[in-house]
Amino acid sequence: MIVKVCGMRNAENIRQVEQTGADWMGFIDYERSPRYLAGIPDYLPESILKVGVFVQASLPRIQERIAAWRLDFVQLHGQETPALCRQLRQTGVKVIKAFSLRGPEDLQVTDDYLQDCDYFLFDTPCAGYGGSGKTFDWALLTHYQGSVPFLLSGGLNPNSLAALSTFHHPRWIGIDLNSGFEQAPGLKDVHALSSFISAFKHHTYNF
């Protein structure tokens, strides 16, 4: 199972989180987010993959961040088109498209992206884009029959292990951790992350 830790900003915290067992680390380029990363941190992770998170950003802006942050993945949280996803993949990065789920009908739009994305991310609807800190009804994903693998996001915290242990889906390949493991916006609790990731990865062999 893949573990992504998102919303990183502080160089020392990035170094620490890199050692927690996480596989991917996310950096947010969206000015309305409290975890917005305006520039380039003094340290970028070297041993795990880097994900840039965008909302309605232009192709040139995303390409600029791909170069500056040395991104392996681009994660799109707005109303980005399949055509943009296709363009980005052609530059060599992998594409994660996020979808907020209220009901089974919200899964229908994923059909348009099946050929142009490497992963989907399913999270909770909120007034902005992501970061609600609330868990959506995972039972909705019984209606997802697409071929693209997905990550679970939205409201995951140190107490989520039991719920995750009961979730099953053939396309589920990981989780996205953010506000539920923070001491302040953008500052992760390294001890809580390390303990959770270790337990999650141990238990996923038995899920």
Whether 117 is a known active-site residue: answer no
Domain coverage including residue 114: 2-203
66 or 207, greater pLDDT: 66
pLDDT digits (tens, 9 = 90+) for 149-178: 999 998 899 999 999 999 999 999 999 999
Q: How many domains does the chain have?
A: 1
pLDDT given at position 1 = 94
The answer to whether the CB of 24 falls within 8 A of the CB of 197 is no
Least confident of 40-44, 121-125, 129-133: 129-133
143-157, pLDDT tens digit by residue?
999 999 999 998 899
| pTM of structure | 0.94
Among residues 29, 116, 123, 189, which one is catalytic?
A: 123
Active site residue 137: no
Q: Taking all residues of the chain, what is their mean pLDDT, rounded to a whole number? A: 93
Angle at 114 between CA 99 and CA 47, to 5 degrees: 70
The beta strands (E) that lie in the chain are given as 2-5, 24-29, 49-54, 73-76, 94-100, 119-123, 150-152, 172-177, 182-184, 187-188
Can you give the CATH number for the domain in which 13 is found?
A: 3.20.20.70
Catalytic residue among 6, 29, 116, 189: 6
Judge whether residue 207 has pLDDT over 50. Answer: no
